[in-house]
C-alpha cells in the first residue's frame, strides 16, 4: 500500500481550543467556500449545517499546509461530510454549491443588508420579504423605520465597511488610554478581539476597560463616553447598562452574551493620529474616518473571564465552552467557570488559570484564530 512507512501522524483535535491557529491560513480557498455555505445556512436558520461548515473551516485553518489531495482530509475531524465541496475545489478550483449560493438573489441581498451596522439577519429577512433588494430601495421605502443604530450604519457605511488597520487600532488605543488616565489613575485598558489575536485588519476595535478597585468600574464607561463626546469624537453610542449578578450564574448561553456594561460606538478618528495615515489613504482627502469600537467593562474580579471571552475567535470561544461542558462537566462563559461535579465556581485571575482548570494546554491569543 501507498505510504507504508510508519510515521507518527499528529491527530487534530475536534475542538478548536486544542488546536493552534495563527492568522496564516493555508487553506483559504476551502475555508472561504465553507464560510459562504455556513452563512447561507445561517440566513436560512439551519443551525446544524451552519455549525458543521464553520467547524470544518476552522479545522482547515489550523493546518500547517494546504490540502492538495482529498486523502489528506481522511484523518481530520469535522470534515467527512464536506468531501464533495473539497473535491470540487481540488478539481475545478471552485465548488458548484458555492457558486450557486453566491449567485442566489436572496443570499446576495441578505449579505448586503446585514453589512449595515445595526441590521441583523432578522431585519434583513424582513426587508427582503418586502421585495427590497438594494440600499436605495430600502431607504426609499416609507414602511421602513430605521432605528438610530441603522441610521448611523447607513450614514457611515463607506467608512465602517472598510477594514480597520493595526495602526488605526493603535491610534484608538492611545486616545482611549489618555481619556481613562484623566478619569482614574488605577484604570486598566486591554486591546482585545481580533487585534489581540494579531490580525492586521479588523471590522472594529475591541477594548476591555475597568478599574483595579472593585465597584469603581461602574461609572467608568459613561465617564469615558462623556469625555469622547466633549472632544467631538463620538459619532454614535449604544450604551448597555450592566445586568451582571453573580447569583444568576452560571448561564448556559452559547452565544457570547454577557451582562457587563458595554457600549457599541462609532468614533471619529483623525488621520494625523495614525502612523502611516488612514487605511486606505488613496482618494480620502477628508482627513478622518469613522471607526467602529466596542468597549466592555467587567468588574476586576471577572477580568480573566471577560478577556478570554472577548478575545475570540468566535469559533475558538464556542469550542472552549463545548469542551468545558462535554469533556469536563463545566460551564464557561464571559463571567465565570462553574464545575457541575463539585458544584462550585473556579477562581481565576489570568487566562492561564482558566485553561489550567479546564486541563487544556495554554493557547496564546495569536493562536486562537480558529
Ligand atoms: P468581534 O469584534 O465581532 O470579532 P473579532 O474581533 O474577532 O473580529 P473582527 O476583526 O471582525 O472584529 O468579536 C470579538 C469577540 O467578542 C468575540 O469572540 C465575541 C465577543 N463578544 C462577546 O463576548 N459579547 C458581545 O456582546 C460581543 C458583541 C462580542
Ligand atoms: Mn473585533
Ligand atoms: Mn463581526
Ligand atoms: Mn467587536
209 & 284 share domain: yes
Q: Which DSSP category does 69 fall into?
A: S
Residue 6 falls inside a structural domain:
no
Both 113 and 207 in a single domain? no
What is the tens place of the pLDDT at every residue in 355-369?
999 999 999 999 999
Confidence of residue 7 (pLDDT cuts 50, 70, 90): low
Distance from chain centroid for Cα 134: 26
Separation of alpha carbons 304 and 358, rounded Å: 14
| Catalytically annotated residue among 97, 238, 294, 353 | 294
Residue of the CA atom closest to atom 14 of ligand 1: 193
Q: Is the pLDDT of residue 58 over 80?
A: yes
Which contiguous run of DSSP H or E holds residue 331? strand 330-332
- Model confidence at 204: pLDDT above 80: yes
In a shared domain, residues 67 and 134: no
57 within domain boundaries: yes
Please indicate, yes or no, whether residues 181 and 280 belong to a single structural domain of this protein: yes
Verify that 182 and 279 share a domain, yes or no. Answer: yes
Q: Which of 101, 120, 146 is the last residue of a domain?
A: 101
pLDDT in tens, 62-80: 999 999 999 999 999 999 7
Q: 44 and 131 share a domain?
A: no
Whole-number pLDDT of residue 63: 97
- Min mean pLDDT across 110-119, 249-258, 272-281, 343-352 is at 249-258
Q: Which of 161, 166, 206 to mutate to test the pocket of ligand 1 (most atoms within 8 A of CB)?
A: 206
The rounded distance, in Å, linking the Cα atoms of 236 and 267 is 7
Residue 248 domain-assigned?
yes
353 is a catalytic site residue: no
Q: What is the pLDDT of residue 257?
A: 78
Q: Whose CA is nearest to atom 18 of ligand 1?
A: 312
* CATH code for the domain of 113: 1.10.150.20
For a pLDDT cut of 70, what percent of the chain falls above it?
Answer: 95
- Whether 248 and 287 map to the same domain: the answer is yes
- 319 annotated as ligand-binding: no
173 with 286, same domain: the answer is: yes
Contact 239, 225 (CB under 8 A): yes
Region 6-12: mean pLDDT is: 72
CB of 117 closer than 8 Å to CB of 160: yes
Tell me: is residue 88 an annotated ligand-binding position: no
Residue 191 is predicted with a pLDDT of: 98
Name the closest-CA residue to atom 1, ligand 1.
193
Q: If you average pLDDT over residues 10-26, what whole number do you get?
A: 96
Q: What is the DSSP string of 280-325?
A: S-TT--S-EEEEEEEEEE--GGGHHHHHHHHH--HHHHHHHHHHHH
* pLDDT at residue 281 in the model: 63
List the CATH number of the domain containing 23.
Answer: 1.10.150.110
pTM of structure: 0.95
Residue corresponding to grid cell 443551525:
47
User: Residue 19: which of 313, 342, 269, 226 has the closest Cα?
Assistant: 313
Indicate which CATH number applies to the domain containing 351: 3.30.210.10
Lowest mean pLDDT among 142-156, 215-229, 280-294: 280-294
Task: Output the CA 193–ligand 1 centroid distance in Å.
Answer: 6
Catalytic residue list contains 206: yes
In a domain, 74, yes or no: yes
Q: What is the pLDDT of residues 285-300, one digit of tens each?
A: 789 999 999 999 999 9
Ligand 1 atom closest to Cα of residue 164:
10
d(CA 163, CA 115): 13
Name the residue with the closest Cα to ligand 1, atom 11. 203
In which band, very low, low, confident or very high, does the pLDDT at 4 lie, cut at 50, 70 and 90?
low
Cα 212 to chain center, whole Å?
26
Decide if pLDDT at 84 tops 80: no
Residue 284 known to bind ligand: no
Judge whether 204 counts as a catalytic residue.
yes
Residue 1 reports pLDDT greater than 50? no
SS3 173: helix
Say yes or no: 195 and 231 in one domain: yes
Provide the domain count of the chain: 4
pLDDT digits (tens, 9 = 90+) for 176-197: 999 999 999 999 999 999 999 9
Domain co-membership, 146 together with 81: no
Q: Which carries the bigger pLDDT value, residue 306 or residue 246?
A: 306
* Least confident piece of the model among 152-161, 214-223, 284-293: 284-293
| Minimum CA distance residue for ligand 1 atom 26 | 257
C-alpha cell at 202: 479588523
- Give alpha helix (H) positions in the chain: 28-43, 47-61, 83-92, 96-102, 105-114, 121-129, 135-140, 148-155, 157-160, 166-183, 193-196, 220-230, 303-311, 314-328, 351-358
> Residue 139's pLDDT band (boundaries 50, 70, 90)?
very high
Residues 265 and 170 placed together within one structural domain of the fold: yes
Ligand nearest to the CA of 201: 1
Say if CB 301 and CB 190 are below 8 A apart: no
Cβ-defined contacts of 192-197 (< 8 Å, 24+) = 192/307, 192/310, 192/311, 193/294, 193/310, 193/311, 193/312, 194/312, 194/313, 195/166, 195/169, 196/311, 196/365, 197/23, 197/311, 197/312, 197/313, 197/365, 197/366, 197/368, 197/369
Q: Which atom of ligand 1 is nearest to the CA of 197?
A: 7
Dist CA 163 CA 185 (whole Å): 33
Is pLDDT at 268 greater than 50 in this prediction?
A: yes
Domain assignment of residue 4, yes or no? no
Domain co-membership, 198 together with 281:
yes
CA of 281 to the centre of ligand 2 (A): 22
- Whose CA is closest to 53, among 18, 88, 78? 78
**Of the residues 155, 177, 192, which one is the last residue of a structural domain?**
155
CB atoms within 10 A of CB 70: 14
Is 11 contained in some domain? no
Task: Tell me the mean pLDDT in the region 232-246.
Answer: 94
Q: What is the mean pLDDT of the chain?
A: 94
Q: Which of 206, 258, 319, 333 is catalytic?
A: 206
Pocket, ligand 1, Cβ cutoff 6 A: 193-194, 199, 202-204, 206, 256, 258, 294, 309-310, 312-314, 317, 334
Q: The domain spanning residue 216 has which CATH number?
A: 3.30.460.10
Residue 43 domain flag: yes
| Mean pLDDT within 241-249 | 85
Asked if pLDDT for residue 32 goes beyond 90, the answer is yes
**Listed residues 299, 325, 355: the one ending a domain:** 299
What distance in Å separates the CA atoms of residue 309 and residue 345, rounded to the nearest whole number? 17
Residue range(s) defining the domain that contains residue 332: 308-367
Domain-embedded: residue 9: no
Ligand 3 ion: Cβ-proximal residues, 5 Å cutoff: 203
Residues forming beta bridges with residue 344, ordered by sequence position: 339
Amino acid at each position: 500500500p501507498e505510504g507504508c512507512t510508519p510515521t507518527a501522524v499528529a491527530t487534530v483535535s475536534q475542538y478548536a481550543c486544542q488546536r493552534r491557529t495563527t492568522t496564516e491560513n493555508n487553506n483559504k480557498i476551502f475555508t472561504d467556500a465553507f464560510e459562504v455555505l455556513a452563512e447561507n445556512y445561517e440566513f436560512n436558520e439551519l443551525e446544524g449545517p451552519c455549525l458543521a461548515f464553520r467547524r470544518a473551516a476552522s479545522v482547515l485553518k489550523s493546518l500547517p499546509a494546504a490540502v492538495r489531495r482529498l486523502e489528506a482530509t481522511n484523518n481530520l475531524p469535522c470534515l467527512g461530510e464536506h468531501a464533495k465541496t473539497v473535491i470540487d475545489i481540488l478539481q475545478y478550483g471552485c465548488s458548484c454549491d458555492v457558486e450557486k449560493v453566491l449567485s442566489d438573489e436572496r443570499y446576495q441581498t441578505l449579505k448586503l443588508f446585514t453589512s449595515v451596522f445595526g441590521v441583523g439577519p432578522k431585519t434583513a429577512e424582513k426587508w427582503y420579504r418586502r421585495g427590497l433588494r438594494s440600499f436605495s430601495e430600502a431607504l426609499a421605502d416609507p414602511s421602513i423605520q430605521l432605528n438610530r443604530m441603522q441610521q448611523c450604519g447607513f450614514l457611515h457605511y463607506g467608512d465602517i465597511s472598510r477594514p480597520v488597520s493595526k495602526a488605526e487600532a493603535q491610534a484608538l488605543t492611545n486616545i482611549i488610554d489618555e481619556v481613562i488616565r484623566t478619569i482614574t489613575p488605577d484604570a486598566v485598558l486591554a486591546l482585545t478581539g481580533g487585534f489581540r489575536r494579531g490580525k492586521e485588519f479588523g471590522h472594529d476595535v475591541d477594548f476591555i476597560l475597568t478599574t483595579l478597585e472593585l465597584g469603581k468600574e461602574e461609572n467608568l464607561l459613561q465617564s469615558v463616553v462623556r469625555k469622547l463626546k466633549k472632544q467631538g469624537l463620538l459619532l454614535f453610542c449604544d450604551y448597555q447598562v450592566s445586568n451582571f449578578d453573580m447569583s444568576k450564574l452560571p448561564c448556559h448561553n452559547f452565544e457570547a452574551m454577557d451582562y457587563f456594561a458595554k457600549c457599541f460606538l462609532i468614533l471619529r478618528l483623525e488621520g494625523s493620529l495614525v502612523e502611516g495615515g488612514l487605511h486606505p489613504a488613496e482618494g480620502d482627502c477628508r482627513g478622518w474616518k469613522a471607526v467602529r469600537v466596542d468597549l466592555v467593562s467587567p468588574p476586576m474580579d471577572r477580568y480573566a473571564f471577560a478577556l478570554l471571552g472577548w478575545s475570540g475567535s468566535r469559533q475558538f470561544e464556542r469550542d472552549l465552552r463545548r469542551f468545558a461542558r462535554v469533556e469536563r462537566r463545566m460551564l464557561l462563559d464571559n463571567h465565570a467557570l462553574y464545575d457541575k461535579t463539585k458544584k462550585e465556581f473556579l477562581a481565576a485571575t489570568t487566562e492561564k488559570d482558566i485553561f489550567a482548570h479546564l486541563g487544556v494546554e495554554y493557547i496564546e491569543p495569536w493562536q486562537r484564530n480558529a
